[in-house]
Structure 1
Amino acid sequence: MAKKFLYFIAICIVLFLVGRIGYEMFKDELAAFALVPSNEFTPTEPLEANAYQDPALWYSRPGIGVNDPARWQPAYAADVSSGGENPVDRARDAALPNFAVFFIHPTSYLSRNNWNAPIGENADEEAERIARIYIRGMASPFNGASEIWAPRYRQATMGAFLTDAPEGQQAIGAAYADVLEAYRYFLSSIDDDTPIVLAGHSQGSLHLLRLLREEVAGSAETDRLIAAYAIGWPISVDHDLPAVGLPACATAAQTGCLLSWSSFAEPADPSSVMKAYSNSLGFDGKMRGDSTILCTNPLTGKFGGSAPESANLGTLVPDDSMSSGELVPGAVPARCDERGLLLIGDPPELGSYVLPGNNYHVYDIPLFWANTQADVARRVRAMEAAN
């Protein structure tokens, strides 16, 4: 019996090793098989004129009240806040000038059934649930704003980013068309002199970058733009940034500038990300190659550099459901490396959604929740002082 058991264990180990090697060799192909739709792309019908007047097309906007996920405010862990006042309380209590935020959520639709997520009555319940969780954790650092607007849009499914087929780009373009309409309605709904923050993550950042290039650059909105937070999407300093129309934020109180970072714990293996980045076309039509990625250090609010964990005012550590969490200060440091990736030291325990290679993509904003909130407040006050 013991001999048979050892044979069984040996076979399991071999199967595991073979499976692991197969995964490493063909992980891109396996991901594409699981997530890329096999059906033809069906062009989305344009939304009706002024469709975004309907509150149902917004996750967050004025008037939603207690069900607005972006208005969630986490607390510090009990063993931290018991000693007295904490930075989040101070930030919340300190009155800020009026400003409005437009936030574009990341990909929450994973289905192979459609190239673009349905919205309205036919919306995918799981995609809706995940989107609200993302907004709760990623848009809430901006909740010092007088108004937060986060639209529902017919986002491209995850598989659209895993294929070179033209359907992928068509789906991304269709998603952007909705974002553009939502942005225009957002502008029409706020006062002409209200300062604005534009923010997004992952797919949301991709749409934000196009919005900056095609809609914001050269418009009256550039004069009232506090900052643009295009987080979780690699931006080439040489091939993308000049076309965006905004400089990288060089100082912590600079306004009218762009912030971006992509987080990896160490040891980091960004090979798959860097391969896709290097083989892609920049906004100038040239290959991005080994050009440096824009890296804002979220602990300092400056381009590049490093900061110790003591500078981290609070990492949002989620619970198992990812629907709530608490802030823990001093959890991780931040260092921009020579490639432009943001390294956060040893892997922190934040949950089960860490991607291969110690890629903390899903946690880009929660890792620096309190610092992001402080960063926004600092730039808002800098714009008020300048005006």
Structure 2
Amino acid sequence: MARKFLYVVATLIVLVLVGGFVYSLFGNDLLRRAMVPSVAFKAEPAMPANAYADRAMWFARPGLSNTPVDWLPPGVERTEPGNAEIFFIHPTSFVGTDRWNAALDDSETNGRAQVFLRGQASAFSAAGRVWAPRYRQATFGAFLTGEAAAQQALDLAYRDVAAAFDQFLAEADPKRPIILAGHSQGALHLTRLLREKVAGTPLARRIVAAYVVGWPVSKATDLAALGMPECAAADQAGCLLSWQSFADPADPTLILEQYDVSTGFDGRPRNGTPMVCTNPLTGTADAQAPASANAGTLIPDKSLESATMTPALVPASCGPRGFLSIGDSPPDLGPYVLPGNNWHVYDYSMFWANVRADALRRLATWEKR
């Protein structure tokens, strides 16, 4: 299932090296040849006990200042944060081919991760305290091959995430509700966290919502194992949100080819099953909304260090298989649209203001329980 997401940096490298025409004919094979490590997987030791008690193991957490998640677009007022504890797992930022997992001290990889956190996790900062761990993420190439090394790399990355989550639970205020969120590889790891550490436990009662964004979740074969329903109402708590953004004309073949041959969390095939599609503009399932419902899209500057926020730019409409359409005239957000008209990189930033409001609304519902 994991061999389907094409991340921006690798795509751009291939386009520069071989040109758009050649890529249009052989792009996926070229990506695999260029980006899948040729070295053997190297097993690495588990994190030492209490490794995540060290604040240096986090991009953001209480006690750290001037973190990426503290960023706000110009004109957005900084308010007193809500009472939630937020655990956010960042997407893939490592594209190396000399190893299968990122080193924690890789400055280039960490820099990319912080760009993602500014445009994604910052949307949750109004709801409470954001915790965002560093982890030995699997490289981009792990998503392009069926080699055993790819799954080993993902398992290693998940073990780090799980260790960080355990420390988060040990240090976070036990009386506060929890919001779980991630994107892409981070969302994949979040589905495993939900299955192994949340579903069917007392902890599940503390979950305001789980934002499993940029990763497919089958309504038929996955939701029950994740322990929560999809969000049907905008003010519902204890539910799961997920969306994958495409502009028209969309070609989600790369995702569907892998999704339809994969096995769900309940052991049944996912073939032909609809995916969870939460419309981030309405907060409801399988909905449509015009651009006027969009409270604010982030428009990044060239340095990716900041962005301005503009309302009413991007519509959203859930399609029959569960992909989110943003129409045929999306704004220019930069050069990072992926093959198939896949706006994966912008899943959060296109709907930043609505995600911010969504988290606050669901938190308010949870607190009224």
TM-score by length of 2: 0.92
Q: Secondary structure at the match of 1:282?
A: coil
Counting only pairs closer than 5 Å after superposition, residues 38-77 of structure 1 correspond to structure 2 as: 38-66=38-66, 68-76=67-75
2:245 counterpart of 1:276: no
Q: 2:267 aligns with which of 260, 280, 285?
A: 285
5+ residue gaps, structure 1? 1-17, 77-87
Structure 2: how far apart are the matches of 1:239 and 1:24?
34
1:263 pairs with one of 240, 245, 248: 245
Question: Per the alignment, in what secondary structure is the counterpart of residue 143 of structure 1?
Answer: helix
1:278-357, aligned counterparts within 5 Å?
A: 278-345=260-327, 346-357=329-340
Letter in 1 for 2:101: N
> What SS does the aligned partner of 1:144 have?
helix
In 2, are the aligned partners of 1:144 and 1:377 still within 8 Å (CA)? yes
1:6-25 → structure 2 map (5 Å cutoff): 22-25=22-25
For the 8 Å contact 2:41–2:153, the answer to whether it is kept is yes
Aligned match of 1:176: 158
Task: Letter of the 1:34 partner, please give it.
Answer: A
The alignment partner of 2:218 has SS state of: coil
Structure with the higher fraction of residues in helix conformation: 1
* Structure 1 Cα separation of the partners of residues 303 and 348 of structure 2: 17
Whether the 8 Å CA contact 1:103–1:139 is kept in 2: the answer is yes
Q: Deviations over 1:187-207 (max 9, x none)?
A: 110121110100000000000
Deviations 1:327-358 (A, max 9, x none): 10001110001110000112321001111121
Q: Is the 8 A contact 1:41 1:171 kept in 2?
A: yes
What is the letter of the counterpart of residue 70 of structure 1? Answer: V
Within the candidate set 106, 119, 129, 2:91 is matched to 106
CA contact (8 A) 2:82 2:126 kept: no
For residues 226 and 24 of structure 1, do their structure 2 counterparts lie closer, same or farther at Cα, with a shift above 3 Å needed?
A: same
2:133 aligned partner: 151
Partner Cα distance (2:173, 2:363) in 1:
16
Deviations 1:302-337 (A, max 9, x none): 111101111100001111122210110001110001
Gapped regions of structure 2 (runs ≥ 5) = 1-17
Could you tell me how far 1:240 is from its partner in structure 2? 1.4
Q: Check whether the contact 2:127–2:363 (CA below 8 A) recurs between aligned residues.
A: no
1:96–1:380 Cα contact (<8 Å) kept: no
| CA distance in 1: counterparts of 2:123 and 2:20, whole angstroms | 39
Deviation of 1:147 after TM superposition, in Å, equals 1.4
Question: Where in structure 2 are the equivalents of 1:182-193 lying within 5 Å?
Answer: 182-193=164-175
- State the TM-score, normalized to the length of structure 1: 0.88
Aligned to 1:195: 177
Question: Which residue identity does 2:68 align to in structure 1?
Answer: P
Q: RMSD of the TM alignment (CA)?
A: 1.5
* Matched residue count: 351
In the alignment, structure 1 residue 118 sits paired with structure 2 residue 103: yes
**SS of residue matched to 1:283:** coil
Q: 321-330 vs 279-288, which deviates more?
A: 279-288
Cα distance change on mapping 1:311 and 1:137 into 2, 3 Å: same
* Equivalent in 236, 243, 258 of residue 254 of structure 1: 236
Residue identity matched to 2:153:
A
Distance 2:321 2:364 in 1: 32
Mapped contact 1:104–1:199 kept (Cα < 8 A): yes
> Secondary structure at 1:284's aligned position in 2?
coil
Q: Percent identical across equivalent pairs?
A: 51
1:353 is aligned with what amino acid?
A: Y
